[in-house]
């Protein structure tokens, strides 16, 4: 860090962060863990790298001037799992393996298959509205919750030895109980007492080590709460708080506001409360309306921990001004853990300064905290260098601004979102034009990405081959793929997606306004990291993206080849969005770009076009009451925008990687696609019931086999699955397809599986 300042001489507003990324600057933790999993390094080497990483992270924070530095925010896999292990919530099946601590931990995280036994991993779920995933603790009736672990104490001690006093961080008891899965008759409330005792034991031990603060993360407070939840929360803390002794307790919330319980919670005996003032739409008004107790510290989450943009100092300083009127003591903080942003800009060598000047990743955010803290205590911050520089930045013209695109979005009319004639009429026209058999068979888009396919892409990216050579090779793959599908007897073919590595990155790379990073990895789960592209400016399509490949594919066959695009909501949800315009505006910009692509495909003679919305549900707001006004009211129209002006005979498909859309089934139908395929082989399939009950109009292709496994489904198995579906779905509306794209599968199993799928379709056609 260039800004190695010591702040001791100056009384500035204290600051902190909710947590720091764990994986390391260059994903060191990922690589060493994976080596450990493969048996290439031993436990000591793994622990040593982890220790060095923690030390480095603490030192960075110290040098950057962070006032309260977190510890125990490090994790080998996930913080919820850490808490489970700390409190002995370790299911018997893992204990029975009789492995040592760290291996038991990894068995829970990743499953175990070996000499000691064979057990699956704990379930994994999305962490609120992020792309991070936590492991779901499993609690049995006879689980004995008690403090058994050492992790927070060891890490506190480790930091102390480096001369750094830390604030231990841990998932709070309420969130822990809310996220856990109960295997027996006993439920959350039945474990509250025991868990509270375990937390008290932990606080005591932390107190003994000399910690001034401890942070309890309670993001479950920002969800829709019912009375029982509030009772559970109160029950836990009414027991814990009186026993806390000399250590101060920070109740940390994030990803939203705590409108259901603010009033009650500020009355409790917490020493500090952390609120998210960015995603928490009502956080300000709650503080203004109900005030904030004088005897507590407000941890003001104002530096966005979830996005990669520099903070607007002026905005934050004026927010602090407002909050100051209601509080006696404040600590400046991030909205949530910095776990959700990449590590540092220092590793980005190819970003132009005109672009990177607008970004702040985790390390740069530390510097922002420090600068803002200093500015709050300056007599007149309006003349300070840091303030002026930041102000100037926000006044700067940004690259990739397009008046054209803005105008197009502004001029969108109602009929841009309405496709005519209505779906039932289109269906008749499409049936007569496409002449598909009953139960049409198709796949979701990608075919196996073989070594040759990947090699072709790498060679092109490295500049070893030119575009013409690359495309010629892609065309070879396409041609093989078409021939294979014809031989297998599939009805609606795909071109195989050999030109893409990733369904979002590929479109991003071909759209103006997008920016890509080299090392900006963010943890998704365990050792898996993702590198989301950044929407920097107005998104615009400057040239056709997929038409040439599709035209070529269609030229090889008389059967229809599906055009294959990613939808605007998915592209948006898997990118870092801008903060200067709304999500709705970005979705519409991308929607217009995809619409142009749809039109080009149609003009090129493509009769069926699939627009994937694999991530539509991902950013559904945490609270139900926000679902429509904050999301679905623009997300569904953004999809409709893509296909509203195609001809009646052009059939529009969409695809989703999940089937849990019962609750928004009307909205899914409202996307007005002609056909939807979705994952169905692993799920409980309450969706089939919902489809029937809601008279779902869209034709459906519930996946008939799981593509996540190399296993080949038998004909019989597929027939049985289909028969079950036919109990709920009109036979004229049923399609037959796998769960998802086949790109991670091998060639042989793919062929076998699809052959069986076609055979199953033929059997069914004879029966009906």
Active site residues: 708
Contacts of 504 (CB under 8 A, 6+ apart): 532, 533, 566, 570, 571, 574, 575
Given a contact cutoff of 8 angstroms between Cβ atoms, the answer to whether 738 and 757 are in contact is yes
Which tokens is 585 given?
């505006």
Given a contact cutoff of 8 angstroms between Cβ atoms, the answer to whether 122 and 138 are in contact is yes
Give yes or no for residue 740 binding ligand GLN (CB under 6 A). Answer: yes
Among 196, 657, 687, 736, binds ligand GLN (CB under 6 A): 657
Q: 503 touches which of ligand GLN, Zn ion, none (CB within 5 to 8 A by kind)?
A: ligand GLN
Report the residue number, 445 or 533, with the smaller CB distance to ligand GLN: 445
User: Exposed (0-12), middle (13-18) or buried (19+): which is 303, by Cβ within 10 Å?
Assistant: buried
Report the residue number, 192 or 614, with the smaller CB distance to ligand GLN: 614
Q: 348 touches which of Zn ion, ligand GLN, none (CB within 5 to 8 A by kind)?
A: none
> How far lies 199's CA from each of 105, 147, 173, in Å?
20, 8, 8
Contacts of 496 (CB under 8 A, 6+ apart): 445, 446, 447, 477, 478, 481
Residues 452-511 binding ligand GLN (CB under 6 A) are 497, 503
Closest CB to ligand GLN: residue number = 741
3 state SS for 532-583: CCEEEEEEEECCCCCHHHHHHHHHCCCCCEEEEEECHHHHHHCCECCCCCCH
Q: How far apart are CA 573 and CA 583, in angstroms?
A: 9
Report the residue number, 145 or 614, with the smaller CB distance to ligand GLN: 614
Three-point CA angle 31, 34, 40, nearest 5° = 100
The piece of 6-14, 375-383, 413-421, 739-747 that touches ligand GLN (CB under 6 A) is: 739-747
- Smallest distance from the beta carbon of 702 to ligand GLN, in angstroms? 14
Q: 612 touches which of ligand GLN, Zn ion, none (CB within 5 to 8 A by kind)?
A: ligand GLN
- Smallest distance from the beta carbon of 684 to Zn ion, in angstroms? 18
Among 24, 173, 440, 445, binds ligand GLN (CB under 6 A): 445
Phi first, then psi: give them for residue 573, nearest 5 degrees: -70, -25
- Smallest distance from the beta carbon of 614 to ligand GLN, in angstroms? 4
Residues lying near Zn ion in the complex (CB under 5 A) are found at: 614, 657, 740
Give yes or no for residue 448 binding ligand GLN (CB under 6 A). Answer: no
Please, what sign has the CA dihedral across residues 655, 657, 660, 661? negative
- As beta bridge partners, residue 135 has 124
- Smallest distance from the beta carbon of 650 to ligand GLN, in angstroms? 18
The piece of 337-345, 596-604, 665-673, 738-746 that touches ligand GLN (CB under 6 A) is: 738-746
Q: How far apart are CA 21 and CA 365, in angstroms?
A: 12
Give yes or no for residue 741 binding ligand GLN (CB under 6 A). Answer: yes
Report the residue number, 497 or 667, with the smaller CB distance to ligand GLN: 497
DSSP β-ladder status, 528-530 and 117-119: unpaired
3-class secondary-structure state, position 511: strand
Among 248, 259, 578, 655, binds ligand GLN (CB under 6 A): 655
DSSP string computed for 622-682: SSGGGHIIIIIHHHHHHHHHHHTTS-TTSEEEEEES----GGGHHHHHTT--SEEEE--SS
> How far lies 455's CA from each of 390, 478, 715, in Å?
44, 16, 34
Give yes or no for residue 617 binding ligand GLN (CB under 6 A). Answer: no
Give yes or no for residue 614 binding ligand GLN (CB under 6 A). Answer: yes
Task: Please name which of 248, 354, 255 lies closest in space to residue 296, comparing C-alpha atoms.
Answer: 248
Interface size with ligand GLN, residues (CB under 6 A): 13
Report the residue number, 446 or 644, with the smaller CB distance to Zn ion: 446
Q: 386 touches which of Zn ion, ligand GLN, none (CB within 5 to 8 A by kind)?
A: none
Contacts of 27 (CB under 8 A, 6+ apart): 521, 529
Give yes or no for residue 564 binding ligand GLN (CB under 6 A). Answer: yes
Report the residue number, 722 or 740, with the smaller CB distance to Zn ion: 740
Q: 743 touches which of ligand GLN, Zn ion, none (CB within 5 to 8 A by kind)?
A: ligand GLN
Give yes or no for residue 635 binding ligand GLN (CB under 6 A). Answer: no
- Smallest distance from the beta carbon of 677 to ligand GLN, in angstroms? 9
Phi first, then psi: give them for residue 689, nearest 5 degrees: -60, -45
**Cβ neighbours of 634 (radius 10 Å):** 21
Give yes or no for residue 743 binding ligand GLN (CB under 6 A). Answer: yes
DSSP string computed for 9-30: TS----BB-S---SS-TT-HHH
Report the residue number, 108 or 490, with the smaller CB distance to Zn ion: 490
b/e map of 427-460 (b: 16 or more CB within 10 Å)? beebeeebebeebbbbbbbbbbbeeebeebbeeb
Residues 105-134 binding ligand GLN (CB under 6 A) are none
Given a contact cutoff of 8 angstroms between Cβ atoms, the answer to whether 206 and 152 are in contact is yes
- Smallest distance from the beta carbon of 565 to ligand GLN, in angstroms? 9
User: What x-and-dash track marks residues 327-366 binding ligand GLN by CB under 6 A?
Assistant: ----------------------------------------
Residues 405-444 binding ligand GLN (CB under 6 A) are 444
- As beta bridge partners, residue 655 has 612, 677
Among 155, 276, 612, 669, binds ligand GLN (CB under 6 A): 612
- Smallest distance from the beta carbon of 527 to ligand GLN, in angstroms? 21
Give yes or no for residue 446 binding ligand GLN (CB under 6 A). Answer: yes
Report the residue number, 298 or 757, with the smaller CB distance to Zn ion: 757
Q: Which residues bind ligand GLN (CB under 6 A)?
A: 444-446, 497, 503, 564, 612, 614, 655, 657, 740-741, 743
């Amino acid at each position: 860090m260039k800004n190695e300042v010591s702040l001791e001489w100056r009384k500035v507003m204290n600051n902190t962060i909710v947590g720091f990324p764990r994986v390391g600057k260059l994903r060191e933790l990922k690589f060493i863990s994976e080596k450990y999993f493969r048996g290439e390094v031993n436990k000591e080497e793994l622990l040593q790298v982890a220790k060095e990483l923690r030390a480095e992270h603490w030192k960075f924070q110290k040098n950057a001037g962070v006032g309260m530095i977190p510890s125990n925010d490090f994790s080998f896999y996930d913080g919820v799992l850490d808490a489970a292990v700390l409190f002995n919530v370790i299911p018997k099946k893992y204990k029975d393996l009789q492995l040592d601590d760290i291996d038991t931990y990894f068995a829970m995280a990743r499953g175990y298959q070996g000499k000691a036994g064979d057990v699956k991993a704990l379930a994994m779920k999305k962490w609120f509205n992020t792309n991070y995933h936590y492991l779901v603790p499993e609690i049995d009736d006879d689980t004995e919750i008690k403090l058994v672990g050492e992790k927070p104490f060891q890490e506190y001690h480790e930091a102390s030895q480096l001369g750094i006093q830390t604030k231990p961080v841990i998932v709070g008891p309420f969130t822990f109980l809310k996220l856990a899965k109960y295997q027996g008759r006993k439920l959350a409330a039945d474990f509250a007492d025991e868990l509270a005792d375990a937390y008290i034991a932990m606080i005591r031990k932390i107190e003994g080590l000399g910690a001034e603060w401890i942070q309890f993360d309670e993001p479950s407070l920002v969800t829709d709460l019912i009375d029982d939840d509030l009772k559970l929360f109160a029950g836990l803390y009414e027991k814990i708080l009186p026993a806390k002794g000399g250590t101060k307790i920070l109740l940390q919330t994030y990803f939203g506001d705590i409108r259901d319980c603010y009033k009650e919670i500020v009355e409790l005996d917490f020493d500090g409360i952390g609120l998210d003032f960015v995603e928490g739409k009502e956080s300000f008004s709650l503080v203004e309306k109900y005030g904030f107790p004088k005897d507590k510290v407000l941890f003001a989450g104002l530096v966005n921990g979830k996005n990669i943009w520099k903070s607007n100092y002026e905005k934050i300083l004026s927010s602090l001004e407002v909050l100051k009127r209601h509080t006696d003591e404040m600590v400046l903080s991030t909205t949530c853990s910095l776990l959700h942003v990449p590590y540092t800009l220092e590793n980005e060598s190819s970003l132009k300064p005109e672009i990177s000047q607008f970004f702040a990743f985790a390390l740069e955010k530390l510097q922002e905290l420090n600068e803002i803290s200093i500015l709050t205590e300056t007599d007149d911050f309006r003349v300070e260098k840091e303030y002026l520089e930041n102000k100037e930045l926000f006044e700067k013209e940004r690259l990739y601004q397009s008046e054209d695109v803005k105008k197009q979005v502004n001029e969108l009319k109602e009929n841009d979102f309405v496709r005519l004639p209505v779906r039932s009429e289109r269906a008749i026209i499409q049936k007569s034009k496409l002449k598909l058999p009953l139960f049409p068979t198709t796949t979701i888009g990608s075919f196996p990405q073989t070594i040759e396919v990947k090699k072709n892409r790498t060679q092109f990216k490295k500049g070893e081959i030119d575009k013409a050579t690359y495309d010629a090779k892609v065309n070879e793959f396409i041609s093989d793929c078409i021939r294979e599908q014809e031989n297998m007897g599939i009805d609606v073919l795909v071109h195989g997606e050999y030109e893409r590595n990733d369904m979002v990155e590929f479109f991003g790379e071909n759209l103006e306004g997008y920016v890509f990073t080299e090392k900006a990895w963010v943890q998704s789960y365990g050792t898996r990291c993702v590198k989301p592209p950044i929407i920097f400016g107005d998104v615009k399509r400057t040239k056709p993206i997929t038409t040439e490949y599709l035209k070529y594919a269609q030229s090889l066959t008389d059967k229809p080849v599906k055009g294959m695009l990613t939808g605007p909501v998915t592209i948006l949800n898997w990118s870092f969005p801008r903060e200067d315009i709304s999500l709705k505006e970005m979705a519409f910009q991308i929607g217009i770009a995809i619409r142009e692509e749809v039109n080009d495909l149609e003009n090129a003679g493509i009769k069926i076009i699939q627009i994937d919305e694999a991530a539509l549900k991902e950013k559904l707001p945490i609270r139900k009451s926000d679902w429509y006004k904050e999301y679905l009211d623009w997300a569904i129209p953004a999809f409709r925008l893509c296909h509203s002006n195609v001809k009646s005979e052009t059939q529009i498909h969409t695809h989703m990687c999940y089937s849990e859309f019962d609750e928004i089934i009307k909205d899914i139908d409202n996307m007005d696609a002609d056909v939807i395929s979705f994952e169905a082989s692993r799920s409980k399939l309450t969706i089939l019931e919902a489809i029937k009950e809601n008279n779902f109009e869209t034709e459906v292709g519930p996946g008939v086999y799981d593509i996540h496994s190399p296993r080949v489904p038998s004909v019989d198995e597929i027939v049985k699955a289909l028969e079950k579906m036919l109990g709920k779905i009109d036979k004229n509306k049923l399609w037959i397809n796998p769960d998802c794209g086949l790109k991670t599968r091998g060639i042989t199993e793919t062929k076998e599986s699809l052959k069986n799928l076609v055979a199953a379709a033929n059997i069914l056609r004879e029966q009906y």
